[in-house]
Structure 1
């Protein structure tokens, strides 16, 4: 699970975050699945690689700033692999197609917000509502965000909202499938066949003789 969009509040925060990410991206290691030191591996198929690269091209056409372009990445010894280098967009807006859809690749998009309320409204209005996280030292802002955001899983200073499997995993809106979530007790309930038994044992033969075929609701 990964968060494909980051929403810094205020120009100063956005500029500093971008600077730090640009400096960090060259240190990321792309490798095969057996490489324990790799941060991530290839995408699953050639078609999926083409799809992710198509979304990068779409972002450029829509006017987003492509700060780091991961297209054309090649891993030595695995030149035919479905690898894509880390990619970073800045100045993405909610009207852009790459923001509206899920890219499912190593592409991070920066959507700048001028205020807390604007940042809160972005995931709340999005068609998908799987997971969201807020990073802050302000407890009041964190509680307000968690209570009001229209998303199924919320992390506070945690990048992945559900880090352990015994918590329920599932989103809202178009990120929801079926009528229950996965993992945790919700997952157990999904695989549980419910049996309901209603019983009544009369205290005496007289009571037994007077019994009627009426469901007892009280006493």
Structure 2
């Protein structure tokens, strides 16, 4: 992969125009695999830019709300086609910007196009109901209306697929959008907005501002014209947004996780180890649904840990453009420091580091944010690595004696996003799906991954548990219901 010799400067998109920030300041997006590779220069926006974007969205809303659903759908479909036609280039840019393997990047771009197409269809049949009543001369029904201006604030780990699953349902239901991506991955977010623009979306319907949350985040949440805020990120940031929002502003928060896999004594050990590696170390452990805890029955713990180490040691670490690489760099220096901090916490608290956990700095790793995946055993439920979200390739193995003990530990955290159990016992599997406190529950599958057409969200501090994302129910957040009584 050759580094780009000329660094391009990218602009905000406000009112249908690509414009510079009023701050006259910029920032760089850097390749986490090689800090010498500058991916692009972006606008360091200020509140004046956000105010301008919100005003543009307000002005565009009435006409967009009245636009025929089929015309909105046509724009989403055309934008999807643009993403598909340019998938190779977009995947390369995503890998340079975020660090994931180029194959994963390509799949993410294609999934985002699929999301646009999905909502283009579902949004055209999302409507109200008609209710029977005792008056033969009256009709009672509900109508679904768009909310207005929606703020979309997204993270860096899935920097195009998460925006797509928020923006597509917002647009198809007639809302206008102000979109702020993570400052670590602004380019692929820019490409999504560019695709919508090239697909013919009217001026002001989608607006795009880049910059630090500390500079622009509050106005995106507190401005009186903002009718809803959809956010994916840390629990701390989500709680802050929820508190600052007006009680008349809807919030949709998809937040942190501390996701367990329970390995029962009848489990397929080969499968259990494979699913742990896939859930805990793919995407360098940087998935909110990533496997962070393994709660394993003592009868199979030794065989499981041996197999887990064997599979983990076979993983190739490196640049996302290299063949066979399974683990890329962490997304930024802050992530690297956080992961290394928790590895030290594990040692300090008495856990045994049985594999990995070292920062890689030699040779090709010298300019990137690389760390070996870490496996801890002899972990107790009260340790920091067993209770706090790390968001990196660190797995804590906790030994238990019974299913009941495993469930108590699995539920004894403040998060409830995703969970899985590995077992051949259907009764145990059924019991697990009823008792686990998680929004996404799996049997003999990894904790990561969700279908486009199925609801996604967490319980406890993993979500506000108000409105789910993905699937048909993902449209509900962006509409309000009006009940109409007509007598004749």
Q: Under a length normalisation based on structure 1, what TM-score does the superposition of the two structures give?
A: 0.85
Specify the alignment match of 2:295 in structure 1. Answer: 7
**Hey, what's the Cα distance between the residues in 1 that align with 2:320 and 2:479?**
35
Equivalent residue in structure 2 for 1:119, among 406, 413, 419: 406
**Hey, what's the Cα distance between the residues in 2 that align with 1:77 and 1:90?**
30
Equivalent residue in structure 1 for 2:452, among 140, 151, 165: 165
Equivalent residue in structure 1 for 2:389, among 88, 94, 102: 102
The answer as to 2:421 corresponding to 1:130 is no
After superposition, the C-alpha distances for 1:5-33 in whole angstroms (9 at most, x for unaligned) are 111112x3111110001111221012223
Aligned length: 200
**Hey, what's the Cα distance between the residues in 2 that align with 1:161 and 1:197?**
42
1:1-219 residue pairs with structure 2 within 5 A? 1-10=289-298, 12-35=299-322, 37-74=324-361, 76-160=363-447, 162-177=449-464, 179-201=466-488
**Hey, what's the Cα distance between the residues in 2 that align with 1:65 and 1:122?**
19
After superposition, the C-alpha distances for 1:49-91 in whole angstroms (9 at most, x for unaligned) are 0111000000000000010132222474241201111110001
CA contact (8 A) 1:133 1:155 kept: yes
CA contact (8 A) 2:297 2:400 kept: yes
Identify the structure with the greater helix proportion: 2
Cα pair distance change 1:75/1:133, threshold 3 Å? farther
**Hey, what's the Cα distance between the residues in 2 that align with 1:86 and 1:69?**
5
Specify the alignment match of 1:206 in structure 2. Answer: none
Cα pair distance change 1:168/1:79, threshold 3 Å? same
CA contact (8 A) 1:31 1:75 kept: no
Higher mean alpha-carbon deviation, 189-198 vs 24-33, is at 189-198
**Hey, what's the Cα distance between the residues in 2 that align with 1:70 and 1:130?**
25
User: 1:36, CA displacement in angstroms?
Assistant: 5.5
User: 1:162, CA displacement in angstroms?
Assistant: 4.8
**Hey, what's the Cα distance between the residues in 2 that align with 1:38 and 1:196?**
55
> Which of structure 1's runs of 4+ aligned residues deviate more than 4 A?
none
User: 1:35, CA displacement in angstroms?
Assistant: 3.7
Q: Under a length normalisation based on structure 2, what TM-score does the superposition of the two structures give?
A: 0.39
Identify the structure with the greater strand proportion: 2
**Hey, what's the Cα distance between the residues in 2 that align with 1:74 and 1:17?**
30
Structure showing greater Rg: 1
Q: Alignment partner of 2:442: what SS?
A: strand
User: 1:198, CA displacement in angstroms?
Assistant: 2.1
Higher mean alpha-carbon deviation, 154-163 vs 125-134, is at 154-163
Q: Which runs of 5 or more residues in structure 2 are unaligned?
A: 1-288
Cα pair distance change 1:36/1:163, threshold 3 Å? farther
User: 1:149, CA displacement in angstroms?
Assistant: 1.4
Q: Which runs of 5 or more residues in structure 1 are unaligned?
A: 202-219
**Hey, what's the Cα distance between the residues in 2 that align with 1:161 and 1:22?**
20
